[in-house]
Structure 1
Amino acid sequence: MLLLLLLLLVAAAQAVALAPRRFTPDWQSLDSRPLPSWFDEAKFGVFVHWGVFSVPAWGSEWFWWHWQGDRMPAYQRFMTENYPPGFSYADFAPQFTARFFHPDQWAELFQAAGAKYVVLTTKHHEGFTNWPSPVSWNWNSKDVGPHRDLVGELGAAVRKRNIRYGLYHSLLVWFHPLYLLDKKNGFKTQHFVRAKTMPELYDLVNSYKPDLIWSDGEWECPDTYWNSTSFLAWLYNDSPVKDEVIVNDRWGQNCSCHHGGYYNCQDKYKPQSLPDHKWEMCTSMDRASWGYRKDMTMSTIAKENEIIEELVQTVSLGGNYLLNIGPTKDGLIVPIFQERLLAVGKWLQINGEAIYASKPWRVQSEKNKTVVWYTTKNATVYATFLYWPENGIVNLKSPKTTSATKITMLGLEGDLSWTQDPLEGVLISLPQLPPTVLPVEFAWTLKLTKVN
């Protein structure tokens, strides 16, 4: 009898040990959840801002707010000059047709760009949902405009190509009557959260099973208003994506850079030293807007080398790089955006070994004439230098060579010759080739094995 009791106690202890950990709805518990490994390994993603704001396509995706919230004169004038009196923001929605949206073409482009995850705006601050939300009657992509489930279609296309799928979701909606009522009540009531925000978040998770939830629109209210911790506890414990899902840090006032999954901190965040928490730099190819603009000019579009340099720096400092494009109201990705994405993909085909699944090295950079950024993987060190030296010699002070050290350049055959100088460090002789023969046009990667 005693033996049976002991066996039962051992079995019970084993069952408890094997049971999945449960998270409680508080930041101390939620912040302790380890990030699923896929996100840190992915490194590069594409962000897509698409909605009714793509119809006026002027100024920025904050068009409605600048027109009728801030009442900025330039936006007032734009409407007066281009639309009849009485034209409302809702009148833009039927023109959001997505007529030329072919999700497989988008997904092929994102795959060719080397993206390992894609994040789509399911609902921006205007409140229009790109899926048939049950609590957004006649203000969703199934009822008006495209008459299609844009979230579902793109998700199916990217997942066919083994690309992870993330959903951007704005907690607030600028002009929603219930949100304005809660605001009037000092956010002591939660009519909007219960009727709109939370039903939509649960619906998105259950319907589309996202790999990532990119939260935004949190800044006016504390996380207690949004019920963020209760949602995240359900997401981590009981949702259909509990083991793989990743979230960011925008879940309420003062959460950014402090609570959640990985940190965005702020748009276009670029730390100058290695942070102690996983982070992501989100930035836009059009430096002046996240949504498509008809008045966009080349001067505001990031150059190929600028994008790749940002990617290299971000990854060296332990971050992921999320690069945004804004499609047109018809569902087209304009050629200049395609060209930039394909350029990133071409660079990653050669240098992806130094990017994907890499880790920050003990030294992240050397700010010499060539500007070097380091990563490491499986005891190999990668040094990506941004500027080709005039004398054809790269000097690296941080790596300590051994008698077995080998140095190569990604994309080229053969070892490079090098010497160890007591003052200058490792002096690496680059191949004497014309620029057209080099594997890439900028940001060349040296692979160093058997170094310390």
Structure 2
Amino acid sequence: MLYEKNWASLNTRPVPAWFEDAKFGIFIHWGLYSVPAFAGKTDYAEWYGWNLRSEKENATTAFHKRVCGGKKQYADFVADFQAELFDAGEWADIFRRSGAKYINFVSKHHDGFCMFKTAHAWNWNSFDVGPHRDFCAELSRALENTGVRFGVYHSIYEWFHPLYLENPERYAVEHLLPMLKELVETYRPATLFTDGEWSHPSAVWHSEEFLQWLYNESSVRDFIVPNDRWGSETRGRLGGNFTTEYGTIDGKRTLDDGDGRPFEECRGIGHSFGLNRNERAEDYLSAAELIWMLCDLVSKGGNLLLNVGPSADGKIPPLMEERLLQIGRWLAVNGEAIYGSRRYGGAAEEDEVRYTKRGGFVYALLNAFPFGARTLKSVPFAPETRAILLGDDSGAEIQTGDDNGSLRLCFPPLPPDAQKSRYVYAVRLENVRG
């Protein structure tokens, strides 16, 4: 099918099925902003360059004046960005062990600095200056044969690009679109997460023109998943998968549960995407909180895109790595309730219970260790229904019963040391009616 250059046609393209099956991806914010790695306690550290230009005193300007002095400019951080400890193979191994099925690597943030070799940003990319390395190339190669797909984030606008400041539409035609096409055809990403679209409608960015090319002519047309950030009017309405960020579409709107299009929640483990050295351990979500968040999103038909912010030397901070590996260990036991699953009908949201379905099975995800009896209000009782706790090596049988038409599970005493799972416990329900 060929798509026309209008939203009515472009919006008929289905989101490739692999994305809805994947459920869990990793966002990576890494760039010049990783050198100062600082923001206010609840701010985004990747906005350092913008905050530094503010006419009003803020946490960033105060930090910069105190630590860097009055003469150092944001662009000067390129000399300090050497990525001397970056090992693409190490990252790929962490991502594989996390259970993630795709990544979104920030190829260019709003500062315009590119993390790949490009013909469209001479002397403002990681290959020509700084570390003199093409990180998109290294990382995409390292992910081959790992089961983790390589994808990219790319900012539509650039804070300080002279052409953008003078004429945004010319900037789109002469700079943005050629760079996007170069990025797509060189690295063949599975995802394209655009951002920084809010200042102008999609017509200014020529988004329909680009997506028509992406869907009809590009080498990735059969599998690439773009998002919905293509203009000031598009989030949650137009494009590929819909995106939320820390729970909302644009800081105000929540995603209508009836949209029907796959969606993806992106957020950091803490409050920032880029590494913020101003955060402490208590600012980071625990493994239990992150795993429950994943279960909650998947039960609603969504994906979790969880961000890590490496340091300027190229290392993923140990606490972030630990969180990823904790999620991976949980998915190794309970992945059948997550990967390839879909929403379970119109299941009501119950306290400490979420539901998914896959094939002929329904899965109940319990946010507490199963003691005694538990009624699953959204599952009808049927005498033939059988319940199995994933990761339980005790051999104990779960009895089922009828509680006013709902399925009641009666758990025998389960020794915790016989459980491979932690944090959230998945029960596979076989022979569920309806």
Q: TM bucket by the smaller chain?
A: over 0.9
1:333 paired to 2:312: no
Matched with 2:266 is 282
Partner SS, residue 376 of structure 1: strand
Matched with 1:396 is 376
Deviation at 1:83, TM superposition (A): 1.5
1:45 paired to 2:45: no
- Cα separation, partners in 2 of 1:375 and 1:201, compared to 1, 3 Å: same
Partner SS, residue 93 of structure 1: helix
Q: Which amino acid aligns with 1:127?
A: G
1:450 paired to 2:414: no
Matched with 1:364 is 347
CA contact (8 A) 2:347 2:355 kept: yes
CA contact (8 A) 1:51 1:329 kept: yes
1:256 paired to 2:239: no
Higher mean C-alpha deviation, range 413-422 or range 169-178: 413-422
TM-score (norm 1): 0.90
Provide the rounded CA distance (Å) in 1 between the counterparts of 2:59 and 2:378: 52
1:134 paired to 2:119: yes
Q: Which amino acid aligns with 2:15?
A: L
Provide the rounded CA distance (Å) in 1 between the counterparts of 2:149 and 2:97: 14
Aligned pair partner of 1:383 in 361, 364, 376: 364
Provide the rounded CA distance (Å) in 1 between the counterparts of 2:401 and 2:15: 40
Partner SS, residue 404 of structure 1: coil
Provide the rounded CA distance (Å) in 2 between the counterparts of 1:123 and 1:408: 46
- Cα separation, partners in 2 of 1:440 and 1:431, compared to 1, 3 Å: farther
Aligned pair partner of 1:408 in 388, 400, 404: 388
Provide the rounded CA distance (Å) in 1 between the counterparts of 2:281 and 2:256: 28
Per-residue displacement from partner, 1:214-234 (whole Å, max 9, x unpaired)? 000000001011000000000
CA contact (8 A) 2:299 2:356 kept: yes
Provide the rounded CA distance (Å) in 2 between the counterparts of 1:29 and 1:240: 20
Matched with 1:25 is 5
Provide the rounded CA distance (Å) in 1 between the counterparts of 2:347 and 2:81: 45
Percent identity of paired positions between Structure 1 and Structure 2 = 38
Provide the rounded CA distance (Å) in 1 between the counterparts of 2:206 and 2:55: 28
Deviation at 1:277, TM superposition (A): 1.6
Per-residue displacement from partner, 1:307-364 (whole Å, max 9, x unpaired)? 0011000000000110000000000001101110000001001110000000101133
Provide the rounded CA distance (Å) in 2 between the counterparts of 1:273 and 1:32: 19
CA contact (8 A) 1:256 1:266 kept: no
CA contact (8 A) 1:418 1:426 kept: no
Higher mean C-alpha deviation, range 416-425 or range 78-87: 416-425
CA contact (8 A) 2:383 2:401 kept: no
Aligned pair partner of 2:148 in 163, 172, 176: 163
CA-based RMSD: 1.7
Partner SS, residue 49 of structure 2: helix
Partner SS, residue 264 of structure 2: strand
Provide the rounded CA distance (Å) in 2 between the counterparts of 1:404 and 1:415: 18
Segments of 4+ moved more than 4 angstroms: 270-275
CA contact (8 A) 1:53 1:63 kept: yes
Aligned pair partner of 1:78 in 54, 60, 63: 63
Per-residue displacement from partner, 1:210-269 (whole Å, max 9, x unpaired)? 111000000000101100000000000000101111100000011000000110044534
TM-score (norm 2): 0.93
**Any stretches of 5+ residues in structure 1 without a counterpart?**
1-20
Higher mean C-alpha deviation, range 49-58 or range 151-160: 151-160
Provide the rounded CA distance (Å) in 2 between the counterparts of 1:348 and 1:422: 31
Per-residue displacement from partner, 1:171-205 (whole Å, max 9, x unpaired)? 000111111112xxxx5xx2211232111101101
Q: Which amino acid aligns with 1:129?
A: C
Deviation at 1:87, TM superposition (A): 1.0
Deviation at 1:40, TM superposition (A): 0.5
Aligned pair partner of 1:314 in 287, 293, 297: 297
Deviation at 1:397, TM superposition (A): 2.1
Provide the rounded CA distance (Å) in 2 between the counterparts of 1:23 and 1:111: 35
CA contact (8 A) 1:395 1:426 kept: yes
- Cα separation, partners in 2 of 1:41 and 1:119, compared to 1, 3 Å: same
Matches within 5 A, 1:137-286: 137-182=122-167, 187=168, 190-269=169-248, 273=257, 275-286=259-270
Deviation at 1:430, TM superposition (A): 2.1
Per-residue displacement from partner, 1:145-169 (whole Å, max 9, x unpaired)? 1100001101111123131111100
Provide the rounded CA distance (Å) in 2 between the counterparts of 1:220 and 1:179: 11
Provide the rounded CA distance (Å) in 2 between the counterparts of 1:272 and 1:307: 22
Count of residues in correspondence between the two structures: 422
Higher mean C-alpha deviation, range 422-431 or range 124-133: 422-431
Provide the rounded CA distance (Å) in 1 between the counterparts of 2:356 and 2:281: 32
CA contact (8 A) 2:375 2:403 kept: no
Q: Which amino acid aligns with 1:240?
A: S
Q: Which amino acid aligns with 2:217?
A: D
